[in-house]
């Protein structure tokens, strides 16, 4: 993927005055449901109407989508509202049916992205088409796997590409359904700055009352658009009820979001920004120096433990440190989530240092 600027063609051609918006129900349930939601969204900022036709589920027996009949409902959406349509495809058969039914945009879900075999099958099925294809990040935070899936499509000649950031699964309980891992999304942008990146706050949060907050963060990080699940009766939706919003709520979210400028040419602003960035540079250097000093002490502890034949991991001591640091962090305006991540990384590095010494 050398000339990635060509990948923005489909998005740039839309010449939008606002971020791209993809909205509609998690699952197409009935023809009436699909058409009602579409008509309630047609006069909003929504650019693509989405609906899940095939729903990959974790366990059998759950609702797995209405299947091919739902594609006919999407054709009616386009005919009656003029809206472009999109749905998820998980194999070559889905791709063939979606193309035959004139679906405008296809996305590949997190469960499919994890399999290079599935991604290649879909890429081969799409070869020779001009469909827009968006790839959701894999379930686990594996940037190479995400990029690899996109590269398979690119190699097959698909140039209307983009990515969807839907968060990542974790065994730890957080306030999110799938943790955003914003830094990984930023790294993705840095590697391919011309690849359109869409945020999926519905799957990240799992809760409708958090969608505005996450959507705003995404826009502040220069994401190109949002995919938000929308249903006229969210509480009674057949799948993912808690994370869907009503069309009216979606319109309010769009009004409340602040689209910020990428930069500002005002000289006073640039001077103030340079000054603050210089302060951050100094603080960052001090942080590295302090961490280096901490690891030297950890090395000394490792020598002592080796001499006395003591285990490297001391769980009681670690839990005491973590509890104290969470409280200290909160007093300084740092979130518990951030403090946990930071000190777990520091602790792991300390253990690595001590293990090398103990096992030397």
3-state secondary structure of 132: strand
Decide if 155 is inside a domain: yes
Closest by CA position to 106, among listed 48, 67, 55, 148? 48
Give the domain extent around 61. Answer: 4-256
How far apart (Å, rounded) are the C-alpha atoms in residues 328 and 340?
Answer: 12
The predicted model gives 95-121 an average pLDDT of 96
Q: Are residues 247 and 274 in the same domain?
A: no
Rounded to whole angstroms, the Cα distance separating 101 from 109 reads 20
145 occurs within a structural domain: yes
Is residue 319 a part of any domain in this protein? yes
Domain closes at, from 200, 228, 256: 256
Which of 209, 228, 256 represents a domain boundary (last residue)? 256
261, part of any domain: no
Q: pLDDT tens digits for 123-175?
A: 999 998 999 999 999 999 999 999 999 999 999 999 999 999 999 988 777 88
CA distance 207 to 240: 9
pLDDT tens per residue across span 181-222: 998 999 999 888 889 999 999 999 999 999 999 999 999 999
CA nearest neighbour of 211 among 5, 53, 21: 21
Distance CA 33, CA 30 (A): 5
Residue-wise pLDDT for 68-90, tens only, equals: 999 999 999 999 999 999 999 99
Cα–Cα distance for residue pair 81/23, rounded to 1 Å: 14
What is the CATH number for 329?
1.20.59.10
Average pLDDT over residues 272-300: 91
Mean pLDDT of 35-53: 96
Q: Domain total for the chain?
A: 2
Report the range of poorest mean pLDDT among 68-72, 117-121, 255-259, 336-340: 336-340
| Within a domain: 272 | yes
Do 211 and 164 have their domain in common?
yes
* Domain termination site, one of 211, 235, 256: 256
Check which CATH number belongs to the domain holding 215 and give it: 3.20.20.70
The least confident of 56-60, 178-182, 222-226, 244-248 is 56-60
- Residues 140, 61 within the same domain: yes
Q: Are 38 and 77 in contact (CB under 8 A)?
A: yes
Contact at 8 Å (CB) between 181 and 188? no
With vertex at residue 202, the alpha carbon angle to CA 76 and CA 55, rounded to the nearest 5 degrees, is 55
Please give the Cα distance from 70 to 51 (Å, whole number).
9
Residues 52 and 95 in one domain: yes
């Amino acid at each position: 993927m050398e000339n990635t600027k060509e990948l923005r063609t489909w998005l740039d051609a839309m010449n939008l005055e606002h971020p791209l918006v993809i909205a509609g129900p998690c699952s197409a349930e009935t023809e009436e449901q699909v058409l009602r939601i579409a008509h309630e969204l047609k006069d909003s900022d929504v650019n693509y109407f989405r609906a899940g036709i095939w729903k990959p589920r974790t366990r059998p027996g759950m609702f797995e989508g209405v299947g091919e009949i739902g594609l006919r409902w999407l054709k009616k959406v386009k005919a009656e509202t003029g809206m472009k349509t999109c749905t998820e495809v998980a194999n070559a058969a889905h791709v063939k049916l979606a193309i035959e039914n004139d679906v405008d945009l296809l996305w590949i879900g997190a469960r499919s992205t994890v399999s290079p075999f599935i991604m290649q099958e879909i890429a081969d099925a799409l070869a020779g088409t001009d469909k827009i294809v968006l790839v959701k990040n894999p379930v686990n935070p594996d940037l190479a796997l995400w990029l690899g899936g996109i590269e398979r499509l690119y190699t097959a000649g698909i140039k209307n590409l983009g990515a969807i950031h839907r968060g990542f699964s974790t065994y730890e309980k957080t306030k999110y359904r799938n943790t955003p891992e914003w830094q990984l999304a930023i790294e993705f942008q840095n590697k391919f700055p011309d690849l359109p990146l869409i945020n999926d706050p519905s799957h990240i949060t799992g809760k409708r009352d958090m969608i505005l907050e996450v959507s705003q963060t995404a826009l502040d990080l220069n994401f190109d658009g949002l995919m938000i699940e929308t249903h006229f009766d969210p509480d009674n939706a057949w799948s993912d009820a808690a994370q869907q919003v009503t069309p009216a709520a979606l319109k309010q979210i769009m009004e409340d979001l602040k689209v910020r400028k990428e930069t500002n040419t005002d000289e006073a602003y640039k001077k103030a920004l340079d000054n603050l960035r210089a302060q951050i540079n100094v603080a960052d250097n001090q942080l590295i120096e302090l961490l280096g000093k901490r690891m030297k002490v950890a090395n000394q502890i490792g020598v002592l433990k080796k001499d006395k034949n003591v285990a490297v991991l001391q769980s009681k001591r670690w839990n005491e440190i973590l509890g104290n640091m969470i409280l200290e962090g909160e007093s300084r305006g740092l979130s518990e989530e951030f403090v946990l991540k930071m000190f777990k990384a520091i602790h792991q590095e300390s253990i690595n240092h001590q293990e090398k010494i103990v096992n030397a």
